[in-house]
Copies of this chain bind each other. A is one copy, B any other.
Amino acid sequence: MLRSEDHFLEIVDSLFPLEHEHMLVGRGDDCAVLQCPERLCMSSDLFLEDVHFRTRYFNPEDIGYKGLAVNLSDLAAAGARPLGFNMNLIWPGYLDESFCRRMLASMAELAREFDLALSGGDLSFGRSLGLAVTIWGKSPERNMLRGQGQPGDIVFIVGEVGLARCGLILLEENDPELDRFSLAVGRHLRPYPLVSQGRELTGMKEVKGLMDVSDGLARDLPRFLGPDHGLELYQDFPVHPEVRAFCRDRQKEPLMFTLRGGEDYALLGVCSEKNWEKLHTGLQDLKKIGNIVEVPGIYLKGKKLELKGFDHFEKK
């Protein structure tokens, strides 16, 4: 058991360094004082038990990892260099010290990989485990916004989509064939934040806009395109082999499944048709998925698709 707040802080201090080039006053005072770039990116995400994860199939390391990774993904989509984060932890009494250590050690490992300072936070008891992380970093010179594409432009993705939803379903159902879908399961438990890809894309002036896909393409594409535009999908839309296999087993339509899947934390970008070759050659992981059209909606062979993505307030 965690004996006291001080006991918890000891664990934190043993895992997260108190020194960082951007931290003038670190944790332990009323608030941190940070040496900041003039343009700062900041983003917050909740990561809650039984909403965003379950302790039945997330081990402590997965929770610590993903609670921070989803925040890194927001900075990735802004092309920012992450520098630090504040961590609010809601801690239920029934979890033990070892759970806490393992969870935080895994978070600390990811923080170290990206050279992040833990700049503060808060701790409270609660009925179920929860993390609320606010991440901050150096913004690039230009703002990587949504709604920057024009009709005819190419929309592309970096990373995979659909895999994480496939993993989620398999884990929820405790499927005996989890091993057949190790990529999908891994993508749900530990999405890798595409920070370096986001920074690289931001550095290429041909990329007009960028966004991370957290709620699924069905929901995020309209946000990315803006209210006046839609997307005509290519017929060879890149559906991942594991998603294909999963959909074959369950008689689902793989494209529709992929478009509805959330939590992949892939990046969505846009460039003009003429710049595509240049971009594509420079960054080989890009996959183009469609062309922007003048009417809202997502289309395949000119036919509008009926789609819904993830909304915390809507019934699934």
Chain A interfacial positions (CB closer than 8 Å to B): 2-8, 24-25, 28-46, 48, 50-52, 74-75, 77-78, 80, 86-88, 90, 119-128, 130, 132, 134-136, 139, 143-146, 210-212, 311-314
Contacts and interface: CB of A to CB of B under 8 A. Distances in A.
B121 A44 contact: yes
Nearest to A313: B4
Contact of A90 (B4, B34, B48): B48
Given A2-B313, A25-B143, A42 B31 contact: yes
Copies in the complex: 2
A46 B40 CA distance: 23
A38 B38 CA distance: 6
Given A48-B124, A51-B125, A74-B30, A311 B4 contact: yes
Contacts of A43: 30-32, 86, 120
A96 B146 CA distance: 31
A223 to B, nearest CB: 9
Contacts of A119: 42
A198 B32 CA distance: 16
Given A24-B143, A211-B30, A212-B30, A39 B36 contact: yes
Contacts of A78: 29-31, 33
A34 to B, nearest CB: 5
The interface centre, meaning the residue of A3, A33, A51, A75 with most chain B CB atoms within 10 A of its CB, is A33
B29 A40 contact: no
A68 to B, nearest CB: 14
A43 to B, nearest CB: 3
A74 B32 CA distance: 10
Nearest to A214: B30
Contacts of A80: 31
A26 to B, nearest CB: 11
Contacts of A87: 44
Given A30-B211, A51-B126, A44 B120 contact: yes
Given A145-B25, A312-B125, A44 B134 contact: yes
